[in-house]
Structure 1
Amino acid sequence: MESPEPRKKKNNQLLRFLIYIRDRFDLQEGKEDELDTIEYISKNVEFRGANLWILIFAIFVASVGLNVNSTAVVIGAMLISPLMGPIMGIGMAAGINDFELLKRSLRNLAVAVFIAILTSSIYFTFTPLDDAQSELLARTEPTIWDVLIALFGGLAGIIAGSRKEKSNAIPGVAIATALMPPLCTAGYGLATMNLYYFIGAFYLFFINSVFISLSTYLIVRFMKYPKKEFLDEKKEKRVQTYITVFTILTIVPSVYLAYGIVVRSIWEEQAKTFIQNEFVYPKTQVLNSEFFYSQDPKMIQVNLIGEVLPSSEIDKLREQAKVQGFENTELRINQSGSGQTDMNLLRSDILKDLYERNEKLIEDKDAKIALLEEEVANYGQVRLLGNEIAREAKINHPTLQKFTMNRSMVTDLENNTVDTLLVAYAEFNQKPTPSDTNKLLNWLKLRTKSDTVALILQ
């Protein structure tokens, strides 16, 4: 049996360790006076005068950044944006039962959102660059990562705001949570009459705002900020009721929506894993894949190239999909080519063609190798980006049903020459107008950085 002295020594060591850990994570150290913090956040709630002009200019900067696809410009706009103020004010007001601050924060947030969307709509109405770039498309649909960023970013923001010495955490939170770009994207959707863009971007902004406010509320309650006192007890109870009802009406739907985002993200990751593990064939490769979670039933669409798989193999894949949890999911497999198609032979022919076309122009051996590597990289890039380009094309053209893209060899019979051409195949639910066709063709040239693109419509 262990003697009392060693046991006491171990307990003292454990106690000292726990005290050390507590001191390390103590939020009281360096904390600003609670009333000063409340005043600091309350001042940043207002949108008038300089704050309003800064917001307008920041929106213009962010819109230009999204328009020209410049990440650096978008980050700069987020740094100068004052949008965090009223959002943190909502969480602070809920945490200290200050109904007046809550109303003021909501009113100023509504003004800021209206001004931001109006400003970006005006810009995108008159800008000559009307194509949706990747920076803009990234803000049209929230993911689980956006929810986590908003939650943890908000926690970092309110903790930094409660310190005596303000650090660079607050500007960092403004960049991480990315409140500006979704509003600019919503303005783009309004300017182009694209309801999908508008709703998706505004939904992302709403989710970010709610979880930043929620994290502010949690820290305010955890740090026991003093609640607003009322002389009239009935009024105090009424205000507490209003705050509670508002908090529930805001948080519950947001948590439900966030749960839906988590479920969809997990489903898509499982679908990607299923394709990677099951679609492994020596002479058949996956050209691209698409996932449609929101439709009923859910659908996984896989486009194959190479040797055609027999119907028995397709049936096995569908059965395997059900075994792996995709019971209520349709597995649609589109195939192209014939039984004699061999991907290795196709690559070999392309390399041979590229070499023969450039042999007379290049005599240095190393230069020939460099050229071939560059051409192969371009070919592989088009194939790898096929799924991403298909998704973007679907956003710009909602009636688009099927889309694939690849490089093909074209023989000019008059000049007796062989060249490679980027070929895109698009199938629509209804016949597109000539204007939509030209828009898709010009966008594909810009997106793939190709001078010529052959577009086949169905």
Structure 2
Amino acid sequence: MASLKNYLVRYFSMADDLLPQAEAEATIREGISFKGTNMLILVLAIFIASLGLNTNSTAVIIGAMLISPLMGPIIGIGLGIGVQDFELLKRCLRNLLMAAGFSMLTSTIYFLISPVSEGHSELLARTSPTIYDVLIGFFGGGAGIVAIGSKSKGNVIPGVAIATALMPPLCTAGYGLATFQMNYFFGATYLFLINSIFIALSTFIGVKIMHYKPVVAVNPERSRRVRHIVYTVSILTLLPSLYLTYNMLRQSRFAMNADRFIAQQFNFPATQVLNRKAVIEHGEKVITVTLIGKILPSDSLQLAMSSQLKNYGLEGTRLNIIQGDSPNLSEIKNGMPTVKDIYELAQTSISAQQMTIDSLKSVIAINQINDTIAGRIAPEVRVVFPQVEELAVTHTIFSNIATERLDTINTVLVKYNTPLPPAKEKEFIKYLEARLQHKSLQLINVGNQLSFSTTPSHQTKK
């Protein structure tokens, strides 16, 4: 066990790779100042980053991160706390505030004059920091101080600049000021604070691990007070990110359950899911599903799908189902469909309405045929069956009172001027079945009980 411990200590030992403290400190102190060339490079990097955010270009944003000299004063803050050089600490804080101020001002000016003011995904990505950004800043700062203090730096510093992304949050904050969207400003500013504070914190820890000696004539009480302030600020900065991380994980889990619910439940042969959206708005969970294809019964569909929500951990979720005939067009915005989606939805609605119109036309045509068919065959009946005086053809719906079953029967009401023999009546029925193209007819002799040619009069008592 001891040999394993010694092996690991030897494997991770930095004693042979570290630069002398004075040389490492000199490297850090050179990057602290923001005057002349450094300030000009910072302003140019801000313009490049703003252009990248404005055009949603990741490559341009990465280029701006590599150019930016913002890492210098942040690493200097951690060094100042670690070696208890409070003059260096004050200088770094002053330079960092000045650099951040100039960066926001430059970005604000750019976005004020830029013709493109839409917020793309690269901008939105800098408005909701989480615990993951805290970890990125912390580990990035650790990698940075180790690289600065070692003899073989490699490509660590550029990698840290890209990973910790100090420039984009400042540009996004400027965008928020230019467009008066304070959620952008505060979210991006908070992300910049997270990155700066935890890079400085990990630098401070790295300085202690590498056993950098403090400056002489140090006030122990002041050193302790500064450390307490550093720890307090770090914790206070961490707390909101924990809350935002909880919300992010909650939203992610809700979206995953919603996708599983939609994929497994919304499977119909002639209807497809056009669009879906699962969001948590003001504490309320909302799933919006837009369907295209054959129109399904709205009430039955809503009831069936809502009853399945509990099986996917979606209790208390409000389910909106939008179909081609949805009367509430304002619900479409929750699904965020494209113009093409809306066009297809409209085409589906038009097709459904056309099918209804065609169906109604067919019913009307059949009714018109039934209403006039007796008159059309009357001349033939007069010649072949002269005993028939009046004739009516109708579709009658009978209801079984016991079983409540409905049945449609093709009925022929007939009145004879002279009785028709049974054999002749059977022949008459076969004639009607062939002429009317019905397999079975119910012939009813109304006798003198009903007259088709006269309309009964009704008197109303007052």
TM-score (normalizing by structure 1): 0.66
> Which amino acid letter does the alignment assign opposite residue 241 of structure 2?
A
User: 1:125·1:192 contact (CA, 8 Å) conserved in 2?
Assistant: yes
User: 1:144·1:265 contact (CA, 8 Å) conserved in 2?
Assistant: no
Deviation at 1:56, TM superposition (A): 0.6
Within 5 Å, which residues of 2 pair with 1:306-317? Answer: 307=296, 308=298, 310-317=301-308
Deviation at 1:336, TM superposition (A): 0.9
* 1:147 aligns to 2:82 (yes or no): no
1:191 corresponds to which residue? 178
* 1:55 aligns to 2:39 (yes or no): no
* 1:301 aligns to 2:287 (yes or no): yes
Q: Within 1, Cα distance between the matches of 2:334 and 2:229?
A: 42
User: 2:48·2:64 contact (CA, 8 Å) conserved in 1?
Assistant: yes
Q: Which of 261, 268, 277 matches 1:289?
A: 277
Deviation at 1:90, TM superposition (A): 1.6
Deviation at 1:16, TM superposition (A): 4.2
2:145 corresponds to which residue? 158
2:259 corresponds to which residue? 276
CA-based RMSD of the aligned residues comes to 2.7
Identity %: 38
User: 2:288·2:335 contact (CA, 8 Å) conserved in 1?
Assistant: no
Alignment gaps of 5+ in structure 2: 327-331, 348-462
Within 5 Å, which residues of 2 pair with 1:103-122? Answer: 103-122=90-109
**What secondary structure does 2:317 align onto?**
strand
Q: Which of 70, 76, 87 matches 1:83?
A: 70
* 1:331 aligns to 2:317 (yes or no): yes
Q: Within 1, Cα distance between the matches of 2:132 and 2:138?
A: 10
Deviation at 1:63, TM superposition (A): 1.0
Is the alpha carbon distance of 1:339 and 1:114 closer, same or farther for their aligned partners in structure 2, counting shifts above 3 Å?
Answer: closer
> Which amino acid letter does the alignment assign opposite residue 147 of structure 1?
V
User: 2:65·2:162 contact (CA, 8 Å) conserved in 1?
Assistant: yes
Deviation at 1:407, TM superposition (A): 4.8
**What secondary structure does 1:408 align onto?**
helix
Q: Within 1, Cα distance between the matches of 2:14 and 2:335?
A: 55
User: 2:29·2:76 contact (CA, 8 Å) conserved in 1?
Assistant: yes
1:408 corresponds to which residue? 343
Q: Which of 220, 233, 238 matches 2:221?
A: 238
Is the alpha carbon distance of 1:300 and 1:37 closer, same or farther for their aligned partners in structure 2, counting shifts above 3 Å?
Answer: farther
TM-score (normalizing by structure 2): 0.65
User: 1:46·1:86 contact (CA, 8 Å) conserved in 2?
Assistant: yes
Deviation at 1:201, TM superposition (A): 1.2
**What secondary structure does 1:310 align onto?**
helix
> Which amino acid letter does the alignment assign opposite residue 248 of structure 2?
S
2:240 corresponds to which residue? 257
2:385 corresponds to which residue? none
Q: Within 1, Cα distance between the matches of 2:66 and 2:97?
A: 21
User: 2:173·2:186 contact (CA, 8 Å) conserved in 1?
Assistant: yes
Rg: which structure is higher?
2
Q: Within 1, Cα distance between the matches of 2:274 and 2:202?
A: 43
Deviation at 1:15, TM superposition (A): 4.4
* 1:216 aligns to 2:203 (yes or no): yes
Is the alpha carbon distance of 1:252 and 1:298 closer, same or farther for their aligned partners in structure 2, counting shifts above 3 Å?
Answer: farther
> Which amino acid letter does the alignment assign opposite residue 105 of structure 2?
L
Is the alpha carbon distance of 1:23 and 1:274 closer, same or farther for their aligned partners in structure 2, counting shifts above 3 Å?
Answer: same
Q: Within 2, Cα distance between the matches of 1:316 and 1:333?
A: 10
Q: Which of 44, 47, 56 matches 2:31?
A: 44
Deviation at 1:91, TM superposition (A): 1.6
Q: Within 1, Cα distance between the matches of 2:181 and 2:325?
A: 43
Q: Within 2, Cα distance between the matches of 1:122 and 1:149?
A: 30
Q: Within 2, Cα distance between the matches of 1:313 and 1:144?
A: 39
> Which amino acid letter does the alignment assign opposite residue 32 of structure 1?
L
Deviation at 1:17, TM superposition (A): 4.0
> Which amino acid letter does the alignment assign opposite residue 60 of structure 1?
F
Q: Within 2, Cα distance between the matches of 1:195 and 1:82?
A: 27
Q: Within 2, Cα distance between the matches of 1:299 and 1:277?
A: 15
Q: Any idea what the Cα deviations from partners look like across 1:141-192, whole Å, max 9, x if unmatched?
A: 2234323322221111111011123322101110111110111111111111
Q: Which of 172, 178, 199 matches 2:165?
A: 178
Is the alpha carbon distance of 1:35 and 1:318 closer, same or farther for their aligned partners in structure 2, counting shifts above 3 Å?
Answer: same
Is the alpha carbon distance of 1:313 and 1:216 closer, same or farther for their aligned partners in structure 2, counting shifts above 3 Å?
Answer: farther
> Which amino acid letter does the alignment assign opposite residue 287 of structure 2?
Q
User: 1:96·1:227 contact (CA, 8 Å) conserved in 2?
Assistant: yes
Deviation at 1:41, TM superposition (A): 1.5
2:18 corresponds to which residue? 31
**What secondary structure does 2:279 align onto?**
strand
Q: Within 2, Cα distance between the matches of 1:146 and 1:192?
A: 25
Q: Within 2, Cα distance between the matches of 1:301 and 1:90?
A: 47
User: 1:97·1:239 contact (CA, 8 Å) conserved in 2?
Assistant: no
1:266 corresponds to which residue? 249
Q: Within 2, Cα distance between the matches of 1:317 and 1:42?
A: 63
Q: Within 2, Cα distance between the matches of 1:298 and 1:243?
A: 44
